[in-house]
């Protein structure tokens, strides 16, 4: 069984990373907004405190400098990419579809779709198939003021996965399941929120628990 710690929306607050690591994960997934309009130094500070393999995507609040630094960091940058971890296949998509706030890393749903299409062509299905996306799929854990603000393109590809790890909408911390697919938003790590994911031996044997440190 592999134990993955899911973090998101750190927004430059790294003081609780030691407490997160005390949960003894085998790997760490980070679903974006590692910084709050931050710098390359923030990326270095973040990953210096994570002592297991990590796999990340940037969020809409991560400027280009941060995205470039993530590529050079000890973490694997999954944005627009695919990786096989044996029994687990990972696909990542960072940034977000457009917001009203003009944050640094926003894309149209067409741009998200184009990146996802390339990753899906390369992806080799495994026992557990996981999407790490900063933006939630449209209609799931994406509601703000009665409006669904998630990505239609993430939704389009959702049925190719067993687990979708997302973030972005801080108020939508939770776990939902639809058609055998789990969608989880761990809530902002800046407030001590996280999720622990246990991957079992068999397909669909994925247990997700929301935690607070």
Q: Which domains does the chain have, with CATH numbers?
A: 2-212 (3.60.21.10)
- Band of the pLDDT at 148, cuts 50, 70, 90? very high
Q: How far is it, in rounded angstroms, from Cα 202 to Cα 204?
A: 6
* Per-residue pLDDT tens over the stretch 107-127: 999 999 999 999 999 999 999
User: What is the per-residue pLDDT for 195?
Assistant: 98
Q: DSSP alpha helices (H): ranges in 6-77? A: 17-21, 40-47, 64-72
pLDDT at 55 over 90: yes
* 8 Å CB contact between 29 and 196: no
- Band of the pLDDT at 182, cuts 50, 70, 90? very high
User: What is the per-residue pLDDT for 1?
Assistant: 85
DSSP 8-class letter at 136: P
Stated pTM of the model:
0.98
- Say whether 9 sits in a helix, a strand or coil: coil
Mean pLDDT of 156-172: 98
Rounded to a whole number of angstroms, the CA Rg of the chain reads 15
User: What is the per-residue pLDDT for 17?
Assistant: 98
* Per-residue pLDDT tens over the stretch 57-96: 999 999 999 999 999 999 999 999 999 998 999 999 999 9
**Strand locations in 85-205 (E):** 88-93, 128-133, 143-144, 147-148, 163-165, 174-178, 181-185, 193-199
Mean pLDDT of 16-28: 98
* 8 Å CB contact between 108 and 98: yes
State whether the Cα torsion 150-212-52-1 is positive or negative: negative
User: What is the per-residue pLDDT for 51?
Assistant: 96
């Amino acid at each position: 069984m592999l134990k993955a710690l899911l973090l998101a929306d750190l927004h430059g607050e790294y003081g609780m990373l030691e407490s997160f690591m005390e949960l003894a994960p085998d790997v760490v997934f980070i679903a974006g907004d590692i910084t709050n309009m931050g710098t390359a130094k923030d990326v270095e500070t973040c990953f210096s405190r994570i002592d297991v393999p990590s796999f990340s995507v940037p969020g809409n609040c991560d400027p280009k400098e941060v995205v470039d630094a993530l590529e050079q960091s000890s973490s694997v940058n999954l944005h627009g990419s695919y990786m096989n971890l044996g029994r687990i296949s990972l696909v990542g998509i960072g940034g977000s579809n457009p917001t009203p706030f003009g944050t640094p890393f926003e894309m149209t749903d067409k741009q998200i779709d184009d990146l996802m299409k390339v990753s899906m062509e390369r992806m080799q299905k495994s026992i557990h198939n996981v999407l790490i996306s900063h933006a939630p799929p449209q209609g799931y854990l994406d509601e703000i003021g009665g409006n669904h603000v998630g990505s239609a393109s993430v939704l389009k590809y959702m049925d190719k996965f067993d687990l979708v790890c997302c973030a972005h909408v801080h108020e939508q911390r939770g776990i939902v399941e639809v058609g055998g697919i789990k969608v989880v938003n761990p809530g902002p790590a800046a407030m001590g929120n996280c999720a622990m994911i246990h991957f079992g031996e068999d397909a669909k044997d994925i247990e997700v628990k929301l935690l607070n440190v």
